[in-house]
Amino acid sequence: MPKKKVSKLVLFAKLIRNIFVITLGAAIAGFALEAFLVPNSVIDGGIIGISMIISHVTNFNLGWLILILNTPFIILAFRKMGWKFVFQTAYANVILALAVNFFHQYKVTEDIMLVTVFGGIILGTGVGLILKNEASLDGTEILSLLISKKFGMSVGEFIMGLNVFIYLVAGKVFGWESAMYSILTYFVASKVIDVVMEGLNSSKSVRIISDDAGAIGNALIDKLDISITYLKGIGGYSGQDKDLIYCVLTRLEMPKMLEIVKEIDPKAFVSVVDVHETYGGRFKRK
């Protein structure tokens, strides 16, 4: 019984944390839209972009329009994503609607390059915080999951195709120069979203193939104080058994690792892959 109570308490604490970060993210995104993008006729992609075009043409309230257009997709997400995602996504969209109305006519700058860069950075930060905490502001991502299965399209292809259409319409409504700045803003925002979700301090996953795997492994443990794993493999050409070393390093440890490997076996094969999140795996020697 006590374990269940602790588990529920942890889940509740996580939900509260998610709600707090989602609130912050939606407020940031609303500020980016009203203080940078909307006053300068620069739009985002997806449902937000569609809402900005419709709001410009009809003068309908942008915040409530985003919420209205996203609602059908939020309902569709219930079966696939579960109640928690739906609740947090609905909450994020309500907060975004309130933030957009709160920051309405709060214009920071008219410099289009500042709008493109800083508007994209701020918007990407807000959206990234929301995505990282299991919610979304864009119903097109939910729709793309359903469309991709039915018509054999990838999620990326659907979203790209829809955004191309949105920016073509934006070119007609706001002018082609504005549409091109909108594409740049979308690009900046997408890169910032990646940084927020994956972090700046990505680690490196390393695989080392060498006939001196034992010596290299011992040297890595002694000199870098890291944990390693030996994997068994078979050479595709020689058919001989091979020992592989697997470990995860920080960027600062990479040069030293390469130096150790080259000292022991200059012919060793080293493969390095970016790792954005790691859990555990670092053990102190007794």
Final residue before a domain boundary, out of 180, 198, 216: 198
Reported as a pLDDT band with limits 50, 70 and 90, residue 285 is very low
Q: Say yes or no: 159 and 192 in one domain.
A: yes
Position 286 confidence tier, pLDDT thresholds 50, 70, 90: very low
On whether both 105 and 163 belong to a single domain, the answer is yes
1 has a pLDDT exceeding 50: no
Token pair 């620069």 is found at: 42
Q: What pLDDT is stored for residue 28 in this prediction?
A: 95
pTM over 0.75: no
Based on the fold, state whether residues 190 and 210 are members of the same structural domain: no
Better pLDDT: 102 or 146? 102
Strand partners, 275: 203
Say if residues 244 and 230 touch (Cβ distance below 8 Å). yes
Q: CA 264 to CA 203: how far, in whole Å?
A: 24
Dihedral angle over CA of 122, 126, 129, 133, nearest 10: -170
The number of folded domains in the chain is 2
107 with 181, same domain: the answer is yes
Backbone angles phi, psi at 269, to 5 degrees: -95, 125
Asked if 36 and 141 sit in the same domain, the reply is yes
Q: Are 87 and 191 found together in one domain? A: yes
Do both 208 and 169 map to the same domain?
no
Alpha-carbon Rg for the chain in angstroms: 24
Rounded Cα gap, residues 283 and 177, in angstroms: 55
Q: Both tokens of residue 122? A: 């701020």
Q: In what order do the strands lie in the sheet with 203-209?
A: 229-234, 241-249, 203-209, 269-275
CA distance 58 to 48: 15
pLDDT exceeds cutoff 70 at 29: yes
What residues make up the domain containing 234? 203-275
Q: Are 47 and 69 in contact (CB under 8 A)?
A: yes
Task: Return d(Cα 117, Cα 36) in angstroms, integer.
Answer: 10
Per-residue pLDDT at 64: 93
- Domain annotation covers residue 8: yes
- Whether residue 156 is predicted with pLDDT greater than 60 in this model: the reply is yes
Q: Which of residues 149, 174, 198 is at a domain's end?
A: 198
For 188-234, how does the pLDDT look when each residue is reduced to its tens digit (9 = 90+)? 998 898 888 776 666 788 999 988 899 999 999 988 888 888 988 87
Let me know whether 37 and 132 are in one domain. yes
Residues 42 and 162 in one domain: yes
Looking at the fold, whether 164 and 263 belong to one and the same domain comes out as no
Q: What is the mean pLDDT of residues 122-137?
A: 89
Of 53, 21, 39, 199, which is closest to residue 126 (Cα–Cα)? 21
Q: Which two tokens stand for residue 268?
A: 């060793």
| Per-residue pLDDT tens over the stretch 84-96 | 888 889 999 999 9
E strands, the chain, where?
Answer: 203-209, 229-234, 241-249, 269-275
Whether residue 253 is found in the same domain as residue 150: no
| Same domain flag for 147 and 24 | yes
Give the amino acid at 29. Answer: A
In a domain, 68, yes or no: yes
pLDDT(277) > 80: no
Domain boundary among 198, 218, 246: 198
Mean pLDDT score of the chain, rounded to an integer? Answer: 84
| 143 band by pLDDT with thresholds 50, 70 and 90 | confident
Report pLDDT digits (tens) over 30-84.
Answer: 999 999 999 998 988 888 999 999 999 998 999 999 999 999 888 887 776 778 8
The percent of residues above 70 in pLDDT, for the chain, comes to: 86
Q: Is the pLDDT of residue 2 over 70?
A: no
